[in-house]
A and B are shown apart, each in its own frame.
Chain A
Amino acid sequence: MTNSPQSQLHLVEPNKQVRIGERKVVRVKRAQDIIETIAWSIVLAVLVMFLIDGGLKYVTDVPSALNAVSRVTSLLGTALLLIHMLLVARVPWIDKFYGHDGATVAHKKLGKPVMYFIAAHFLASLIEYSITNGEDLVATLFWFITDVQDMLLATIGFVLMVAVVVTSLNFARKAMSYEAWFFVHLLSYASVAAAIPHTITAGSDIAGKPVQTTIWVALYLFVFLNILWFRVWIPIRKSFRKRLVLAQSVRESSDTTSLYLTGKHLDKIEAVSGQFYFLRVMTPSQWWRPHPFSISAAPNGQYLRFTIGDRGDDTKLMQNIKPGTAIAIEGPYGLFTEERRTKEKVVLIASGIGIPPIRTLAESMAARPGDITVIYRVRSAQDASLLGEMQEVCRRRGFQLHVIEGPRGPKNSWLNKQVNADGSELPDVARLVMMAPHVSEADVYVCGPQVWTESVLKSIRKAGTPADNIHAEEYAW
């Protein structure tokens, strides 16, 4: 397959043409506006239903005000919760415009507000009833749980939701194992399901109101079916069709390994250069853990290749699986692709194990010699993953390749230490512009560790590249 010398490296035919120009960006922004307007309309619609229903008309004293607060917060919380869930359903029409990372970041941001709304709803109704019943909060809570229909379930759902949000906060994520977090997070579906009955039996905004009932049932069904279809059914069907197995693993450097997967229908693989899949190693202990990896060779119809760095966790395990092991895939995801390119010139910047998507983009992007500049930051050229391939791609296609090796420069520099003859050191921006003179007029793709990426982005912005032309993908999962 590819253990062959570099000169025999098999490359795919690059794209013949690419559409460039500002209109592409405008089109994406328009689509984003439409999606965000739809999301906002859902929130607006539940408020409108509440107001038309006379929700504010009967606020005369403290309990009735609390009742209104409880209703509004539950409606808003539920609407946001449904949007929050849809964001991680891997719906193509969301991912296409925001990327899997963008959708996940939005999902994370919405988590806390949803919980605040539901907590406010819980407290408001608790206080309302403790005032009207003339009892303290504990007695009222006990009464809720024991006497009121479906409130026990709803209270359990609320407790689960708090657990899910708390375990997803950054400090908790760091302290917990992935397994623990994953299982708690799965409970969020149980949490939502547990809350549904009380909205129908005890709530005042659904039961006996046909319009509201229709709207809410439609919203719930829409989200549920999207999750079922795009998160569960499509990946299962795809994995069964493709029947991917590990054909061969090849050591690329002291800490990276390439996995070559083969299977059926590989000519119909949808991935384009720069995208990633979630991989599941189908062994009894590993099948439930998805790992995101970028493809490291443009899809060529013969194999699917991923290059994996050893980051000390499961990735170590991934490097040591036996040939013949079945691998399930979910994807492809990501917008780190030529689809987002709007300029003629391109600068590709990678560091360490960030190289796979950069390598595939260099392989398949439409370009004339000189259009693309590649900057590859490595610890040492002797031990750099895919460096030989990168050099071969750039040699054949006439791209300039800058390999930056050695210890890091001063002050959070993303380049190496380089001292001029007079003892001065150039700032990163200056060195970037020297390596890629057209950087301000180019699309820039950056892939590497998060802190390093941020430092690169700073230099690129300083060099004058518009935000719309800077592409970096976060593994925010």
Chain B
Amino acid sequence: MRKATKNIVGVLSLGVLATSWSIGQAAESGLVVGAPAATNAATSEATPEPTASASSEATASAQPNAEPSSSASAKPTPTKTATSAAKSVTKKSDAISYVAEKRQGVMQISVTKQGSTITAIDILSGGTEGGQWATVPDLLAQAAIDAQGSNFGNISRATHTTEAFKTALETALAKF
């Protein structure tokens, strides 16, 4: 390359790299929830969930989605503070053992329902650790609340964890 071209290309490249770095830092998460295998996609509110027993009559409740923002540290979400008429009920799932990243893990979660709506999910054990994995429990809980059940796609690179989570969720929902 001629010198002038090299300089121009070099400066442009630095700009492009810096821009993409800042986009990457601002991005939500490197891990994304894939599309569900079933037909109905993520129009989260009105879709009745086939596996869970929810009939979506209670969507009128003004309950905002209690986002389990700090659930990675397994802090219990306040469940009694709900401002709506329907009672919040929390049930624990079975402990599902699974293998992810060659480590034996046990997945146990608690599900909070208000009427027939899932309002909060806590991962009691089985969360992954370190790096980008810290975001996996949040993603799973949010995806399950959005889908009102286990009908959501896998999180790429966290397939085993996702599957264990779904099984646990189903056992918890079966107890309501």
Contact = CB atoms under 8 A, between A and B. Distances in A.
B132 A56 contact: no
A129 B151 CA distance: 31
A52 to B, nearest CB: 5
Interface in A47-75: 47-48, 50-61, 63-64, 67
Contacts, number: 83
Contact of B1 (A32, A51, A55, A208): A32
Size band of the interface chain B makes with A: 20 to 34
Interface of A: 29, 32-33, 36-37, 40, 44, 47-48, 50-61, 63-64, 67, 129, 132-133, 143, 147, 204, 207-208
Contacts of A48: 16-17, 20
A134 to B, nearest CB: 8
Contacts of B13: 40, 44
A181 to B, nearest CB: 32
Complex A-B, nearest 4 residue pairs according to Cβ-Cβ distance, in ascending order: A64-B131, A58-B132, A51-B20, A54-B30
B24 interface: yes
A51 B23 contact: yes
Contact of B27 (A32, A40, A47, A54): A54
A60 B130 contact: yes
A32 to B, nearest CB: 7
B34 A56 contact: no
B17 A29 contact: no
B32 interface: yes
A52 B102 contact: no
A420 to B, nearest CB: 45
A296 to B, nearest CB: 36
A133 B101 contact: yes
Contacts of A29: 2
A207 B23 contact: no
Given A44-B13, A58-B131, A51 B5 contact: no
A201 B156 CA distance: 11
B101 A56 contact: no
A21 to B, nearest CB: 18
B176 interface: no
B132 A52 contact: no
A44 B17 contact: yes
Contacts of B157: 204
Interface string B15-31: 01100110111010110
A37 B34 CA distance: 35
Given A29-B2, A36-B1, A57 B16 contact: no
Nearest to B18: A51
B130 A52 contact: no
Of A47, A51, A53, the most chain B CB neighbours within 10 A belong to: A51
A132 B156 contact: no
B128 to A, nearest CB: 10
